[in-house]
A and B are shown apart, each in its own frame.
Chain A
Amino acid sequence: MSSIVNIQGMNKYFGDHHVLKDIDLTVDAGEVVVIIGASGSGKSTLIRCVNGLEEYQQGALEVDGQALAVNGGHQQALNIIRQEVGMVFQQFNLFPHLTVLENITLAPMKVKGIAAQQAQETAHRLLERVGIGNQAQKYPTQLSGGQQQRVAIARSLAMEPRLMLFDEPTSALDPEMIGEVLDVMRELASEGMTMMVVTHEMGFAREVAHRVVYVHEGCIVEEGKPEDVFDRPQNERTQAFLSRVLKH
């Protein structure tokens, strides 16, 4: 299998704060990697580096064969990467002035130059796929949080990404809506989408992940198959973290 994401010796600083420390991580095509860790551990920053929303200062990062330079250099590679990497945010970040349909068709039409009608057909098909086929003409604020997040997933899928990044996609949702979003992600994973998921949903991680990565204070301290990480954590940091989050 070829790797889609290849991170080597990556370091990132926010001023004096050393956020990511010597990160080595590869993600293969079709692989689902779930990144867990406490708040502030750097796990969100890590996946935000993958599509250049955050710059890094040392090391190397390659996404789908494109090298993303340190300090945000090489704008051209960044543009290519962003077209091939989808991202789903904690706060959905739908465009409130556009309808659900327009949210989904905007990028395919403006970035790829796809004709309006074809973009709309794709959008309708994607909305069906995420289970909200009848909401196309509504505005985001007219939808529930769970529905909004599913639109956000459809919006990313419309660009036919090679890799999907999920940055705590269910953290802003009411508990009763978490399931519907995880279902969509589960289905995506089963269809072979390459995914990097930052989440606190340990049940999802255990069930869907091919690999779990535990991040502590900017370092990857443990990674492995979910059953190994969850049932037989080797690092004492991981053990402490898991005993805290799995108790509930």
Chain B
Amino acid sequence: MQGSGFTFDWQAAVDSLPYLIHGLPWTLLISFGGLVVGFLIGVLAGLMSLARTPLLRWPATAYIEIFRGTPILVQVLFIFYGLPDLLGGPINAITAGIAAIALNSGAYISEVVRGGVKSIDKGQREAGVSLGLSRLQTFRYIIWPQALRRMIPPLGNQAIVSIKDTSLFSVIGVGELVRQGQLYIATTFTAFEVYFMVAVLYLAITIPLSIILRWYERRGQVSAR
């Protein structure tokens, strides 16, 4: 292949930073807001999927299958462009983004919750109820705290996935990192440098998270179980 004569323009990359950085708060806001709500949904749906009665189990399973089985891009397009037809008014793009992350991560988190709770040895429940604790008390004081610890690594993993998923929301005009990059490139035509810097900014969020997770897992191996 012939050389294209392309050289990486460091100046262009550095110049784009002050512009790109405006996207960072939106990326963080949508990720954080979406994940907090997603965690609440995930705990609820996860516990429902563990219930004895099908009346609780069935809706949880349906929710999980729907939101795990469809692309998040389709979900956010549906929320942003589709739902207003139903609601009779437009939906703010940020709200749509947060809702999409919440519903999508919630489906995965509910599986994390379910797996975490089920992984606790049944002897723990037996010991709890044998001491006279009610089923609810046994869950609250014995099962849940242990399950939560085991859930931390997969939850961190889901956080990283969801942070990257927010990049898709450039399509509905949310001024997050990718959208800022696209707008900047439209005037400078330095796609290589700018997308490189966009990638660097994502790594600036995800790598620290990964490091914290690794640290947590190492610590977990040393202490209890």
Contact = CB atoms under 8 A, between A and B. Distances in A.
B131 A156 contact: yes
Given A96-B146, A141-B224, A111 B124 contact: no
A123 B129 CA distance: 19
B126 A89 contact: yes
B127 A93 contact: yes
Contacts of A85: 130
Contact of A97 (B126, B129, B149): B149
Contacts of B124: 93, 95
A25 interface: no
A156 B132 CA distance: 10
B160 to A, nearest CB: 26
Interface residues of B, number: 21
A197 B129 CA distance: 19
Interface stretch (B79-87, B137-145, B181-189): B137-145
The size class of the interface chain A forms with chain B is 20 to 34
Interface in A78-114: 79, 82-83, 85-87, 89, 91, 93-97, 106-107, 110-111
Contacts of B121: 91, 93
Contacts of A159: 131-132
Secondary structure class of chain B's binding surface, majority of residues: helix
B150 to A, nearest CB: 11
Contacts of B133: 106-107, 110-111
Contacts of B126: 53, 87, 89, 93
Contacts of A94: 127
A139 interface: yes
Interface string B93-116: 000000000000000000000000
Nearest to A106: B141
A95 B127 contact: yes
Contact of B225 (A82, A96, A106, A110): A96
A159 B130 CA distance: 10
Interface of A: 51, 53, 79, 82-83, 85-87, 89, 91, 93-97, 106-107, 110-111, 139-141, 152, 155-156, 159
Interface of B: 121, 123-124, 126-134, 137, 141-142, 145-146, 149, 223-225
Given A86-B130, A95-B128, 6 more contacts: A82-B131, A82-B132, A91-B121, A93-B126, A94-B127, A139-B223
